[in-house]
Structure 1
Amino acid sequence: MKRAISVLAAIFLLSFFFLCCPTDGGNESVPPVEIATAAQLNDIRNNLGGNFILSADIDLSGYTNWEPLGIFMPASDAPEDMQNPLPSATFSGTFDGNGHTISNVTISRPFDISNPASQSMATGLFGCIRRTGSNPAVIRNLTVESVDVSAFMLVGGVVGLQYVNSTLENVSFAGDNEIQGVRGVGGIVGISFGDMKNCTAIADIVISDAFPDSGSAGIVVGGKEAGVLKGCKVTGGSVSAEGDDFIGLGGLCGIAYALSDVTNCTTQNVTITVSGTGNRVIGGLIGFLGDYKADGPPTRVTNCTVQDVSITVTDDTARVGGLAGGSSFGFYENANRQTLFTIDNCSTSGTITGGATDSVGSIAGCAYAESRVDNNCTSTMTWSRGTLNKVGLSIAYNSAHD
């Protein structure tokens, strides 16, 4: 069964399709292959469905431009397959870091703005991971540190693109890290459609405005659709965007669309800086948040904390929140709908400088009327332009408000 991914696909001008596969034991039924050297790690690309475990820390400084493990490759040259990934090219195995560290990852994949179709996508230590057949596509118990990655779209320090039914768990991103790109840029993952649990990151994220509506950037994950985001934490770093028309920037996650839950997540000691005009939906934890389904369950955000976060934007920036930028209009078929979410038992502290006067809130910048921000949410967030309400802008569903 194929499933079309809507919101993020529209933002990134992609139409990803995912194969929902069975959930048997897969490659973990065979003993794992031990990885102890950089050469052995590099050789994983010759067995992308294997079961691996680190038995030592690995330093990749000998690779001046690391080639990601698992890539995004069109299934064929046919027009209908150009954005449908070839399963055999992606990493579909199990990689257990076993508490070890991979360090000094450098990747540079320059992009030509004049010819975006020529650019490679899905860049990171692992480029593209997806469950394929009985192979589960799992990365766990791993620390990655001292990473410098510069690429085009779907850029992450650990994984560029995480497909549905894959899992990242207990992954840490430590040290001095800088991740740069145009769309879908995150410290651990660029774009995720799978579960992320107990992931921790510190990084500096830099995003450029090569195209209209560039954005979706966060220190843990740039953009996320479906699945869960649980127990994830940012311990420091920054998100910087210099230019116009950015959408969906957050301290933890830039875009969180149609997730079931965002639970027990924290952002602390983070600086978010956005210049230029036409920017929107920016938050200390999450930028764009919610689900368009009027009759379905909202995205639930519970027990999350934003601590000592500084958000600086221009005065025309719309929908800025201490926790979440919140709702925004959809794309294409959802062009006049707002997203639905609930926020419970959350707190924020820090400062907001700038922002449009009618859509800045200590918890959410914007929420349509049927979304809920619980009374148990608290904030000591201050604003350069006045007193903050919990929700900056509350509007009716299907409103034409811009």
Structure 2
Amino acid sequence: MDFNGCMCQRRTGTTNPFLKSHFSGGANKEYTEHYGAMIQTKILFLIIVLPLATPAHTDAIPLNTIEDLQKIGNDDMYPLNGSYVITQDIDARGTASWNDGAGFDPIGEYNYFSSSKSFKGTLDGQGHVILGLNINRPDQDFVGMFEYVGNTGLIKNVVLSGGAVRGRYRVGALAAMVDGGTFELCAAKTYVSGMAMVGGLVGTISYGTIKQCHTSGVVMGDERYTGGLVGRHGEGISPSVLLNCYSRAAVSGGYLYTGGLAGLNAGVIQNSFAAGEVTADPDGDATGGFAGENSGVITACYWDKDITGQSGSAGGSGRMTTEMTYPYAGNTYVGWDFAETWVEDMDPVSNDGYPFLLDTLPLPQDSCDDGNPCTVDRYNWESCACESIPMECDDADDCTVDACVEGVCVHTPILCDDSDLCTVDVCVEGQCVYTPVVCDDDNVCTNDTCTPALGCQYETLDCDDGVVCTVDTCDPATGCVNTSHDGLCDDNNACTVDTCDLLLGCQYEDLDCDDGVLCTMDACDPEIGCINVLDDRFCDDGNACTVETCDLLLGCQYETVNCDDGVACTADSCGPATGCMNTPDDRLCDDYDACTIDTCDPRIGCLYDAVDCDDGVACTVDTCDPLTGCMNTPDEQLCDDEDACTIDRCHPESGCQFETVDCNDEDACTVDTCVPALGCRHEILDCDDGLPCTADSCDPATGCMNTPDDRLCDDDDPCTTDLCVGGLCSNVPLECDDGDPCTTDLCINGECAFLPCDDGDPCTTDVCIAGDCVFTPIVCDDGDPCTTDACVGGECIFTPVTCDDGNACTTDTCVDGECIFTPLNCDDGDPCTLEICSNGECQYIPVVCDDGNACTTDACSAGACIFTPIDCDDGDPCTADTCDPATGSCLHEYICGEGETEGEIVEGEGEPFVFHPADSNQDTRMAIGEAITYLAGWQQGSNEIAYAIRAAYLWQNGERYIYLKALSPPLCWMLAP
């Protein structure tokens, strides 16, 4: 915003030149020449002591547009720790349509456990204006131009004008959340709203610094912590400081902590004021003209009681408008720096008479607000007049009605509806077009129709062919499909082939179990189906010189018997009738032992080998008797296969025989099986066919029976005919229609009934018009807004309105239809009493003044608490005189030690030592050393020393001096008491 060359004519006819305040740092400030030599002298002084320009930002990244600003943190070339400079005024009004109406995306990202995504860089606005910034995120926390500013973040010379910022918790025009950042020479005039922790500049600053900043516009919070400049200030790991700031914003808070400058203060605020309207929930608590709640330190701060509408505050001093505007009252702005920080608004054209900051002139449009959030109000420095620019809401869509509602663009679609569901209603280039609906679902399985009231109707096609064993479906492309399903014909007999004929239904043919192999026994078991048992006996060729076997695939197989015994002195041969013959000549080798085989080996002679009595049968016990020879005794215990489904036997030749146990109980209603561990099992056959209206049973001779039963479809409704069709229930409603459109046709207890139009209400007139019942209410109106008019039982009743808020402290009346509750006036004119009304009677409660410090005398005077320190001075310069805040007792500690000579510096050799601020629960005064712990009674002139932050001692010419640097008032070396 360039103010060069704008010479605006004032009402008096004199000329008031505003010179440029547009470079980095904003240090070139000038006054008008209207006040003669005094002002000219001050201008000369400022020109001498303030720099005309700050050094150029040689390494800073330039920001020329709102799009450049949005890149911070979202583009690798624009990091969150970078240094940035705004090079010109930025028009941000287009952000109202960004992100589907959510607007500008706040810079940075808050995380409770990490500040890695906070803004830790530098942004210098150089006094340029960001116009019309919009952020519309009412359901999002941490909303502002910056979402999160970290402990090295510096934002200065930034001006926000117009636009709106909407969020939920922690909302500020410039920043939502600050942990250690610094804000200098910033200003904001915008609309800010949220639920809690809402501020015109910053939502919440836990610790950090805000100095020489100001706000105007509107700040609204629905719940807690709402302030014109900051919603919640302090309560961080380090003190938070707010210096030389003011707010003229209109503040509207919720039920707790609402203040003209700060909703809650837990840090240090100095030299600041609030002069905007302050309102809150009338049933809420902690509303103040300056601060809603204060647990920190507020020094030399003021609020305008007339403008804020608040007579009290948790901190600061209340003054009338005439005391806060030029010429200022003597007890206002005490100790403020009107040389280098503040400017007296002598001719109230800049800030309506309130002082304004030298380095951040008030926004010219502060006095140009037309009260319409749908306009951007600004001061035109070329025409020297206010102008209101309507917010641009055109979305270039002819089929929407574009409007601005409370500062937000709303695009309402044009409604095209001819109330006919058989047309497609659309808007084309601003005109409604009604195209007939084509009701074709590309499905031959539906009958497609359309009715204006219901639209397209698709009735399902009936594809039932009446055949039990077909699955009846419909193919959307071809139509009805009746697919035979052999599984629906299962007769539970594995010896039949069950098929479904599309015409004849279920067909059952005997299963052919012939496997074509001659040496197998072919049979069929109804439970398991075909059984093909191998039987070698079918392969006997009557030749003992062959081994006959039956192969399931190849049939009979014949292998030649090998008769070679490997003994050289035996004759090996085979006879078809007898088989193998091995004739040894053992006569010469006979040892008369039947358990040896005496043979003749042509190479070594007789061999006496033990007789092998193993007959190859696993279930025989093989032994030998020297007299009789081998004995093979069958033992059936050796054939136990631990299978309860077999009968175990031992055959002397073939070995173990395992005969299958027959488990057939000849009952078609059981499933007969055998479990090796348990033996035969007979489980009940499951005859449930899954159909709701068939009676499922079983006949031991024939098996399952599923008989349809209409009784199972009874829906207990005499107005339906109940049938079981194909195993499914069908409840067909009784048809009742007398053809008269003025009657309601229905079925009651199986009988049709036709009822005329009657809604059962005696307070309506019931008639039938063109086949539709019309019920017209009887109108009861006596013209008296203080009566409630109603029809009861066909009669008009006029009941007087009862106005009673249940409060005996109000007079309740009805006027023009509205209840008026006038509170009882209990004001006794004494500002040191609290006036309340209880049960209709006034009560006056004295104001309790107690600072919790036994070292002060507490009293109320003219509505303000006065805490007068106890005088503990004993007149001895070698004692440190203090008071114990807990007991009120004076303490006198001797401090003149040996060796203290002229010129000697003690306590850190003259260097000041630093003390931290007192805890919020302690007295606001601080300890300043080991020897002196309390400053009650210390004064500089007529001002009490209230808050020291440094101290050191110096002995000079035999007297002890103390060096203090205090927040209020500033001190140097002074003689110690």
TM superposition score normalised by structure 1: 0.62
- Classify the secondary structure of the residue corresponding to 1:92: coil
2:123 aligns with 95
1:349 aligns with 320
One of 304, 308, 322 as aligned partner of 1:307? 304
Once the two structures are superposed, the pairs formed by residues 271-290 of structure 1 within 5 Å of their partners are 271-277=277-283, 279-290=284-295
1:197 aligns with 211
Return the letter of the residue paired with 2:320. Answer: S
Return the letter of the residue paired with 1:198. Answer: Q
Quote how far apart the aligned CAs of 1:350 are.
6.0
Return the letter of the residue paired with 2:203. Answer: G
**In the alignment, does 2:851 pair up with 1:369?**
yes
Q: In 2 relative to 1, CA 273–51 (structure 1 residues): closer, same or farther, beyond 3 Å?
A: same
1:339 aligns with none
Unmatched 5+ stretches in structure 1: 1-27, 75-82, 112-119, 209-213, 292-298, 313-319, 327-342, 375-386
- Classify the secondary structure of the residue corresponding to 1:123: coil
Q: Is the 8 A contact 1:217 1:248 kept in 2?
A: yes
How far apart, CA to CA, are the structure 2 residues paired with 1:92 and 1:250? 29
Q: In 2 relative to 1, CA 204–391 (structure 1 residues): closer, same or farther, beyond 3 Å?
A: farther
- Classify the secondary structure of the residue corresponding to 2:95: coil
Return the letter of the residue paired with 1:389. Answer: G
How far apart, CA to CA, are the structure 2 residues paired with 1:253 and 1:200? 12
How far apart, CA to CA, are the structure 2 residues paired with 1:170 and 1:52? 16
Which structure's relative contact order is higher, taking Cα pairs within 8 Å and 6+ residues apart?
Answer: 1
How many residue pairs match? The answer is: 279
1:334 aligns with none
1:71 aligns with 109
2:147 aligns with 127
**Which structure is larger by alpha-carbon Rg, 1 or 2?**
2
Task: Please provide the CA RMSD for this pair.
Answer: 3.5
How far apart, CA to CA, are the structure 2 residues paired with 1:181 and 1:255? 16
Q: In 2 relative to 1, CA 284–197 (structure 1 residues): closer, same or farther, beyond 3 Å?
A: same
**In the alignment, does 2:692 pair up with 1:218?**
no
Deviations 1:273-315 (A, max 9, x none): 12342x2222111111124xxxxxxx2x222222254455xxx
Return the letter of the residue paired with 2:851. Answer: A
2:273 aligns with 266
Unmatched 5+ stretches in structure 2: 1-55, 97-102, 323-822, 828-832, 837-846, 867-884, 887-920, 922-977
Q: Is the 8 A contact 1:306 1:348 kept in 2?
A: yes
Q: Is the 8 A contact 1:325 1:366 kept in 2?
A: no
Q: In 2 relative to 1, CA 241–304 (structure 1 residues): closer, same or farther, beyond 3 Å?
A: closer
Q: Is the 8 A contact 1:282 1:321 kept in 2?
A: no
1:143 aligns with 159
Deviations 1:185-209 (A, max 9, x none): 001000012111011100211111x
One of 80, 89, 92 as aligned partner of 1:60? 92
Q: Is the 8 A contact 1:91 1:130 kept in 2?
A: yes
How far apart, CA to CA, are the structure 2 residues paired with 1:49 and 1:304? 35
One of 171, 188, 198 as aligned partner of 1:155? 171
Deviations 1:207-260 (A, max 9, x none): 11xxxxx311111111101311100011x2311135xxx221110111001x1x
- Classify the secondary structure of the residue corresponding to 1:87: coil
Q: Is the 8 A contact 2:305 2:311 kept in 1?
A: no
1:389 aligns with 863
Q: In 2 relative to 1, CA 350–216 (structure 1 residues): closer, same or farther, beyond 3 Å?
A: farther
Q: In 2 relative to 1, CA 31–267 (structure 1 residues): closer, same or farther, beyond 3 Å?
A: same
Quote how far apart the aligned CAs of 1:321 are.
5.2
Q: Is the 8 A contact 1:206 1:240 kept in 2?
A: yes
- Classify the secondary structure of the residue corresponding to 1:88: coil
Deviations 1:148-196 (A, max 9, x none): 11111000001001112x101111113xx21111110001000012111
Once the two structures are superposed, the pairs formed by residues 321-360 of structure 1 within 5 Å of their partners are 322=312, 324-325=313-314, 346-349=317-320, 358=834
TM superposition score normalised by structure 2: 0.27
2:258 aligns with 249
Quote how far apart the aligned CAs of 1:325 are.
2.6
Return the letter of the residue paired with 1:95. Answer: L
Q: Percent identity?
A: 23
Quote how far apart the aligned CAs of 1:39 are.
1.7
- Classify the secondary structure of the residue corresponding to 1:110: coil
One of 70, 76, 80 as aligned partner of 1:48? 80
- Classify the secondary structure of the residue corresponding to 2:131: strand
- Classify the secondary structure of the residue corresponding to 1:91: coil
**In the alignment, does 2:195 pair up with 1:182?**
yes
**In the alignment, does 2:65 pair up with 1:37?**
yes
Q: Is the 8 A contact 1:90 1:129 kept in 2?
A: yes
